[in-house]
Chain A
Amino acid sequence: MTDSQRRQRILALTPWERLAEHWERLGIRPGYRCVRGPEVGMAMVRGRMGGTGRAFNLGEMTLTRASVQLTDEVVPDAPLGHGWVKGRHARHAELIALVDACAQRGDWAVAIDEGLVAPLDAALAVERDAHGRQAAATRVDFFTLVRGE
């Protein structure tokens, strides 16, 4: 998984409010424009027969995508960034795309990975741990009854 894919994954899994708050705190505020979207559409979700076999179409899910270009640098090849997120939240997709664009500037990449992606990843890990411990609490411990004498 590339850094860019890793960022996309963490930012898409993070709830919008938390993402917006952490981004705000990071203090990177470049000029940018949307070159595609944000656009709401669907992805056809596929499953596999028996979990491991041939693919089949299960049904669709809503999906929002956006692409942005930084406008601060007056250069023709200003970085493009892309974002995708399940659901219909335009600003969420747009912010993922913006982070993706910003992370292509070396000086911001470190700040983004250390100041945004790492803490969001840690927050998800805490939630997943709590969820996993709740599931574990409903795990059955079998014991054998000794019958008769």
Chain B
Amino acid sequence: MYVAVKGGEQAIANAHRWLADRRRGERNTPELEVTQVEQQLRLAVARVMAEASLYDPELASLAIKQASGDMVEAVFLLRAYRTTLPRLAETLPLDTSSMRIERRISAAYKDIPGGQVLGPTYDYTHRLLDFLQLANAEVDTPAAAEQRLADCPQVLELLDAEGLIEREADDGSEPYDITRDPPDFPVDRATRLQMLARGDEGYLLALGYSTQRGYGRNHPFAGEIRLGNVEVEIAVEEHEGPVCIGEIEISECQMINQFGGSREVAPQFTRGYGLAFGHNERKTMAMALVDRALRAEELGEPVTGPAQQAEFVLAHADSVEAAGFVSHLKLPHYVDFQSELELLRRLRRNHARRHGGTPPDAADSHADADNTSAPVGSNAALGEEHS
């Protein structure tokens, strides 16, 4: 049953007006420019792009400004905008080995071709608040070496050349797309990776951490983490070969995990993979841990930890869906609640009758009268959900 409730238009309008005022803050402070967000809050922008599943730094910055810095709200805004655009193309799979490297490290090998390149990282900082930034102190320009960085081949290719790690080969299959058809469990690895790539970072981080603490342990090494710019190519009918449409910033994590093997295949290291838009290192590490955990069944491992249960992990990873369903509890449930009240009263009457207690007091019926005449909620013209 749906009961129409109406009202609150003026209250809503005024609430939004106050919200805009709060977002703007004191008028004697200069207004935040979207370009400032894009330039100076780059990691926030990257997170919003990854979880909204849309690469557009300017729009992600606008979403962060509009949401007053609420990342989940910003992700929702950008995800909603995404639905207004037509799909013009699918890109060729990104060639991350040809990335213009900003950062590239391996925790598995010390000496690797190209070297350990730290790039712009918060690692090794002392995590002390920098009070100079309160005074907007100038910063130095980056140091530059004499020679540019040499090529950095993928570290896992070294292991692969010796046959020590499972080979990732392309069978040319067309990947499932959850934006076209909803996922139907159980889902394949391509679908899982698409869902993890847009999954909430905090959620994936907690699940990845749980595998390290023993809930589905798989002994990871950070084989390689890289960050940099990759050229994007699309196939178009106007050209025989693919055309480059520009570069995007990408983070990638390749985890090396403990062994798989069978009667036919000698023991090999196994892989977990993480990939995300922008500078998103922690996200890709968590994603790689969870990707590997979700391969438990395929690799013949017992499913013992929450992070290994694909449907549980994937169905709850999307912050837009999760926030939406939790937030819906704010919508009017007046009729639902009335029926619960009725039921509770009946149970209490029965309880009193059986155990000879006092009958329900007058306060209860008073509250009841208040509730039915309470002003309708703030959701103008929204139907009340009644399940």
Contacts and interface: CB of A to CB of B under 8 A. Distances in A.
Contact of B248 (A4, A41, A45): A45
B56 interface: yes
Interface residues of B, number: 87
A41 B87 CA distance: 6
A46 B156 contact: no
A42 interface: yes
B56 A58 contact: no
A31 interface: no
A58 B142 contact: no
A148 interface: no
B329 interface: no
B356 interface: no
Interface in A40-59: 40-59
Interface residues of A, number: 55
Contacts of A1: 241
B162 to A, nearest CB: 16
Contacts of A46: 90-94, 175
B85 A41 contact: yes
B241 A50 contact: no
A51 to B, nearest CB: 5
Interface in A67-90: 67, 82, 84-88
B87 A44 contact: yes
Interface string B305-335: 0000000000000000000000000000000
29 contacts: A39-B88, A43-B232, A44-B87, A45-B94, A46-B91, A47-B197, A50-B168, A51-B97, A54-B169, A54-B189, A55-B174, A56-B190, A57-B190, A57-B194, A59-B54, A59-B198, A61-B56, A62-B55, A63-B234, A82-B236, A85-B246, A129-B148, A131-B100, A134-B145, A135-B228, A136-B147, A138-B103, A139-B116, A140-B118
